[in-house]
Structure formats: C-alpha cells, structure tokens
Amino acid sequence: MLAPHVRVQLLRFAVAGVAGLAVDVLVLYLALALGSGFHAGRVLSFLSAVWVTWRINRRYTFDAATGSAWRQWWRYVGAMAFGGAVNYGVSAAVIALMAHWPAAAPLLPAAPLLAVCCGTLAGLALNFVSAKFLVFQR
C-alpha cells in the first residue's frame, strides 16, 4: 500500500500527465497538419509534453521549484526518456497495427490520438518512479 503523500503525488502526476497528453496530441495533430510524418511529429509532440509536465510536476506534484531549473530540466528529460521510449514504442506499434488491421479502418482518423493515449498509459508508472526518485528526490 502506498503512503498517503505518495498517493497524492501519484494523483497529481496523473493530472500533469493528462495535461501533457493534451499537449502531446495537439502538437502531434498540428505537426501532421503541417506535413510532418507521424514519427517526426511524435518527437516534437513528446518534447512539448515533457516541458509541460516538468513545469507542473516541478511546482505542484513534487514541490521542487528550488535549485537550478536548468539542471533539473535536463535530469527530467533524461529520466523521461526511458518512459518516452516505452511511450513511443507503444504508440508506433498501435499505428502499425491499425494500418494493417482492416477492421480499424473507421478509426484511422483517430489513430494518432489512440496511439498517444496507449503510449502515455504504458509509460506512466516508469515515468512516475523515475521523476520521484531520480529528478525530484529530496
């Protein structure tokens, strides 16, 4: 069982993740509308989401808005890279599966959204643990 303060942090981390997910999806669809491919768009959208979640988690989830923001940002990017790899792998797999699954044809316009949501869920636990213990530890 998780300690009460860890449950609060996990809930706040999940809320930050929802904000990051919204940014991720919006930037991805914008990149796609501007002619980017899915994979290049995911890189841009992921980095945008990481910046948003770092700002929220730094201030509200872990109350760690002290010290060098620059150093903390790079630790956060590094820590999120592992969860990001899981996130990206799952989202790319969802896109690939949907493209080759005839029954998914009606869902193809929503494929980027579904892929990003699946990837985000897959990386959530890993990202929380790495943020808590590698970036925002006290």
Closest CA to 136 of 70, 81, 54: 54
Structure confidence by residue, pLDDT tens digits, 56-87:
999 999 988 787 899 999 999 999 988 889 98
The DSSP 8-state label assigned to residue 10 in this structure reads H
Compute the distance between CA of residue 74 and CA of residue 23 in angstroms, rounded to an integer.
20
Looking at residue 30, what is its pLDDT? 97
Looking at residue 20, what is its pLDDT? 93
Please report where in the chains the tokens 């790079």 appear, as a residue.
74
pLDDT above 70 for 134: yes
Structure confidence by residue, pLDDT tens digits, 101-132:
777 667 677 888 888 889 988 988 899 999 99
Question: Mean pLDDT of all residues in the chain?
Answer: 89
Q: What is the pTM of this model?
A: 0.80
CB 27 within 8 A of CB 48: yes
Q: How far is CA 120 from CA 17, 71, 101, 107, in A?
A: 8, 25, 22, 19
